[in-house]
Structures are given as C-alpha cells and as structure tokens.
Amino acid sequence: MATRTFLSLATRLATSVPGCPQPVIVQYVRDAAIEVCERTLSWRYMQPIIRVTPGVYEYPYTNPTGSEVHAFLTATINGEHLEPVTLEQLAGMYPDWPSTAVDKRADPRLICQIDPDNFVIAPIPDDSKVYDIKMIVALKPLRDSTGMDKTVFDELEDTIMHGALQHLLVLPDKHWSDRELAAYHSKQYLYKTTERRARANIGAARATMTVKMRPFA
C-alpha cells in the first residue's frame, strides 16, 4: 500500500494562503483528511483474517501504520454474518456478558467496537470449531500521522483541500484571512463530502440503493 504525505498538498494550498507556515498548512490538511474519512467512509481496508481463540472475546484490529478504525463495514465469521451492535445492545441481549462460564460460550453472532483499536464479539466463542473472522473496515489517519493511503488521498484530494482552506482562511489576525473565500470553500467542502459519501454508498457500479425489510423476530 503506497503512502502519500499530507505535505504533498501544501504547495497547492500555499497559493491560497500566502505566507502561511508550511507546518500549519500540513496540520489543517491532516485534520481535514481525518474529517473527510469520518464523513465519507471512503478509506476502506480488508483486515487480515482473525483466528478466534476459545474463551477470548476481545481482539485488536490490524491496520496500516498511521491509521485507526472509524467503523466496520462488513464482518463475517466462518462465512456467517456478524451483526454490528452497540455495547448497550450487546449487554441487553447477553446481560451476563462477558461471563467466564464455559457453558455460556457458543458461536459468536454479534460484534461491537470498543475503541478504535479493539472490538469484541458475543457470545464468547466456544471450542467446538475453528472460527475465522473476515472484516472490511473504514479507516482514518491518526492525529500524528504524516500521510495516508495514496489511492484514497488522490481520490479525496479536492475535498480535503476545501476542508483545510475553509479553516485556514478564517484564522484570526492573519494577512491571508478571507472570510468570503472561506465561505466558498465551506460550501464546496459540504457538497463534495456529500457526493463522496453517496459515491461510497452506491459504488463504482452505479447500483441503485435499496431498502431491505428485516424481521422483528
């Protein structure tokens, strides 16, 4: 996976904020990249297969350096769907989770993100078979990262640029400040993030989004 630095966008932005120190531009590019990834879920990554250990319910993600998980998009265990739930929903369905009792263990059916580095499954896995989890997640850069996946960055470059400029141009007491221009970039940023999120949802095949009824029980 090739990486592109946030610094690589600084030259393009420098003409819009003349005199702005390069480290400041890079900081706002990084902040915009994080926000764009959060809003669009465009940085998608297939996790290496995770082999489940009997009796163990919490597992770490394995991400590219400089990134963390914002959300998981798909998750299966041995080819069966893992239902994403909140921690409150998990506790409602399994009030004694995580119980250490062996007779409480079973095939995992639920998955829940605890933090950007770890997720949990429920019920706690038993030892009746080998369990393998496959997962596709949405990533975002860390606050101290210097870059992100080049393919994704290239695709989101204009959106990230507008996101950075809408904030750089309203920094107080700077000779490059321009609230009118900042408002323009803010509108462009909103438009492009909305369009990118829709593109991520629909996909490159231009498929039509549909709604599927789910049974109550």
AA letter at 143? R
**What token pair was written down for 204?**
């490159």
List the beta bridge partners of residue 60.
118
211 has a pLDDT exceeding 60: no
The reported pLDDT for the residue numbered 201 is 72
Query: Would you call 38 exposed, middle or buried from its count of C-beta atoms within 10 A (0-12, 13-18, 19+)?
Result: middle
Q: Which residues contact 148 (CB under 8 A, 6 or more apart)?
A: 3, 4, 6, 33, 37, 43, 66, 67, 141
96-145 residue pLDDT tens = 899 878 988 999 999 999 888 999 999 999 999 999 999 999 999 999 99
Q: Is the peptide bond before 123 cis (omega within 30 degrees of 0)?
A: yes
Instruction: Tell me: do 178 and 128 sit in the same domain.
Output: no
Q: Which two tokens stand for residue 191?
A: 């438009």
Looking at the domain assignment, is residue 216 inside a domain? no
Q: 187 and 103 in one domain?
A: no
Per the domain annotation, does 165 fall within a domain?
A: yes
* pLDDT above 70: residue 149: yes
Asked, for residue 122, whether it belongs to a domain, the answer is yes
Residue at 214 is within a domain = no
Q: Which residue range is the domain that position 106 belongs to?
A: 44-139
What pTM does this model have? 0.86
Give the pLDDT confidence of 158-198 residue by residue, as tens digits: 999 999 999 999 999 899 999 999 999 999 999 999 988 88
Is there a single domain that holds both residue 61 and residue 116? yes
Q: Which of 6, 3, 17 is nearest to 168 (CA)?
A: 17
8-state DSSP, 22: H
Helix (H, G, I), strand (E, B) or coil at 30: helix
Tell whether 185 is covered by a domain.
yes
**Same structural domain for residues 154 and 134?**
no
Q: Among residues 114, 139, 164, which one ends one of the domains? A: 139
Q: What is the DSSP string of 31-43?
A: HHHHHHHHHH---
Shared domain for 90 and 134, answered yes or no, is yes
In this structure, the answer to whether residues 51 and 129 fall within a common structural domain is yes
The answer to whether residues 17 and 169 touch, using CB atoms and an 8 Å cutoff, is yes
Q: By the 8 A CB rule, do 153 and 160 touch? A: yes
Domain boundary among 86, 120, 139: 139
Please say which residue of 86, 118, 139 terminates a domain: 139
Count of Cβ atoms closer than 10 Å to residue 103 Cβ: 7
Region for 41 from its dihedrals, namely left if φ exceeds 0, alpha if ψ lies in -120 to 50, beta otherwise: left
- In the chain, the number of structural domains is 2
Whether 207 maps to a domain, the answer reads: no
Phi/psi of residue 206, each to 5°? 60, 40
* 51 & 13 share domain: no
Residues 49 and 38 grouped into a single domain: no
Domain membership flag for residue 21: yes
* Cβ atoms of 164 and 28 closer than 8 Å: yes
Q: Are residues 52 and 116 in the same domain?
A: yes
Give the C-alpha separation, 137 to 162, whole Å: 25
Statement to judge: residues 123 and 159 lie in one domain: no
Count of Cβ atoms closer than 10 Å to residue 123 Cβ: 19
